[in-house]
């Protein structure tokens, strides 16, 4: 199956191209007696530069917040998700930009294969995204399907997703993925036991915790590992 070239692939190709040009120039202008020394030094320097650039690029992307996500192109959003899922321990493949058969990413963890449709939209995501990812399951022989968006879903999309057992990840759950440090955190639906609102992953003075989305009306919090903290809960 053919998959697309990512930014990392393009970066690698760029460095290889520069390296080959450099070798050609060395053959023309450098004395043969020191040619192999120069090649060795050049190779070491280019490898170091490549690793530094790659590390910086990944580090920068992993610091993205929701306002950064909202400015990404659709393709960049897919690559961001691919990188994030890799960081969370998943095996990830990006499908081709054309003829993707309804899935943008195929992610694997243990024996589970999940097809993902990614939608970086400014408006609500409708039933088409759900239909596409459902259709992709047989083609990719997947066990589960998911639609992830920086926006929200229409009611019809929610109904169709529930009927077809498609997991919907809207803006609130995407926030959990962005902030998540553990792959076990991102698919768990957590609800505030005090008011019924969603719990979202947050970062405080003492580390990550789940806080009620209804804050400040409800200040319930829960530690990530699962023990409750009712202090100051209304």
| Whether residues 200 and 175 fall in one domain | no
Q: Please give the full DSSP string across 123-181, using - where no structure is assigned.
A: S-B-HHHHHHHHHHHHHHT-SEEEEEESS-B-HHHHHHHHHTT-EEE-HHHHHHHHH-S
Question: 17 and 111 in one domain?
Answer: no
Q: Do 141 and 78 fall within a single domain? A: yes
Q: Based on the domain organization, do 73 and 98 belong to the same domain?
A: yes
pLDDT at 5: 57
Establish if 142 belongs to a structural domain: yes
Query: Could you tell me if 79 and 108 lie in one domain?
Result: yes
Query: What whole-number distance in Å separates Cα of residue 151 and Cα of residue 3?
Result: 26
Same domain, yes or no, for 201 and 153? Answer: no
Q: What span, in angstroms and rounded, lies between the C-alpha atoms of 70 and 73? A: 8
Phi, psi of 42 (to 5 degrees): -65, -40
Looking at the structure, tell me whether residues 70 and 53 fall in a common domain: no
**Is residue 73 in a domain?**
yes
Tally Cβ neighbours within 10 Å of residue 78.
25
Alpha helices in 62-126 (DSSP H): 66-69, 74-87
pTM check: above 0.75: no
Structural domain contains residue 2 = no
* Closest of 128, 110, 124 to residue 166, by C-alpha: 128
Across 166-182, average pLDDT: 81
Q: How far is CA 96 from CA 100, 118, 186, 226, in A?
A: 5, 13, 25, 39
**Residues 42 and 116 both lie in one domain:** no
For residue 143, the domain's CATH number is 3.40.1350.10
CA distance 75 to 53: 21
85 within some domain: yes
The more confidently predicted of residues 197 and 2 is 197
| Cα gap 95→133, rounded to integer Å | 13
CA-based nearest residue to 182, from 146, 223, 214, 147: 223
171 and 92 housed in the same domain: yes
Residues 68, 60 contacting (CB under 8 angstroms): no
* Same-domain pairing of 135 and 209: no
Q: pLDDT tens digit string along 22-79?
A: 777 777 777 666 767 777 877 887 788 877 877 777 777 778 888 889 999 998 999 8
Task: Check pLDDT > 80 for residue 117.
Answer: yes
Residue 102 has pLDDT above 90, yes or no: no
In this prediction, residue 7 carries a pLDDT of: 61
β-strands 112-119, 144-149 pairing:
parallel
The neighbouring-strand residues paired with 137 are none
Contact 134, 168 (CB under 8 A): no
Looking at the structure of the chain, the number of domains it has is: 3
Flag whether 110 is in a domain: yes
Instruction: Tell me the average pLDDT across 137-151.
Output: 93
Do 108 and 124 fall within a single domain? yes
pLDDT at 1 (0 to 100): 47
Quick check: 182 pLDDT over 60?
no
State yes or no: pLDDT of 190 exceeds 80: no
Residue 231 has pLDDT above 50, yes or no: no
Question: Percent of the chain having pLDDT more than 70?
Answer: 79
Question: Same domain for 114 and 159?
Answer: yes
**Residue-number span of the structural domain to which 29 is assigned:** 7-61
Contact 212, 195 (CB under 8 A): yes
Question: In whole angstroms, what is the distance from residue 196 CA to residue 207 CA?
Answer: 24
């Amino acid at each position: 199956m053919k998959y697309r070239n990512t930014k990392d692939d393009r970066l690698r190709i760029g460095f290889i191209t520069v390296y080959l040009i450099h070798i050609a120039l060395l053959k023309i202008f450098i004395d043969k007696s020191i040619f192999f020394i120069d090649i060795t030094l050049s190779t070491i320097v280019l490898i170091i530069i490549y690793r530094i650039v790659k590390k910086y690029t990944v580090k920068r992307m992993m610091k993205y917040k929701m306002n950064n996500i909202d400015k990404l192109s659709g393709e960049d959003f897919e690559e961001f998700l691919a990188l994030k899922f890799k960081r969370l321990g998943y095996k990830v493949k990006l499908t081709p930009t054309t003829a993707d058969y309804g899935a943008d990413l195929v992610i694997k963890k243990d024996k589970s294969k999940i097809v993902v449709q990614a939608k970086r939209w400014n408006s609500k995501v409708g039933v088409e995204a759900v239909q596409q990812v459902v259709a992709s399951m047989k083609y990719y022989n997947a066990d589960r399907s998911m639609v992830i968006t920086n926006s929200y879903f229409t009611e019809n999309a929610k109904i169709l997703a529930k009927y077809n057992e498609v997991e919907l990840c809207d803006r609130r759950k995407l926030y959990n993925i962005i902030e998540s440090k553990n792959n076990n955190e991102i698919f768990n639906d957590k609800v505030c036991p005090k008011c019924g609102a969603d719990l979202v992953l947050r970062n405080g003075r003492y580390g990550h915790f789940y806080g009620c989305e209804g804050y400040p009306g409800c200040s319930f919090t829960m530690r990530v590992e699962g023990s409750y903290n009712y202090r100051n809960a209304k």
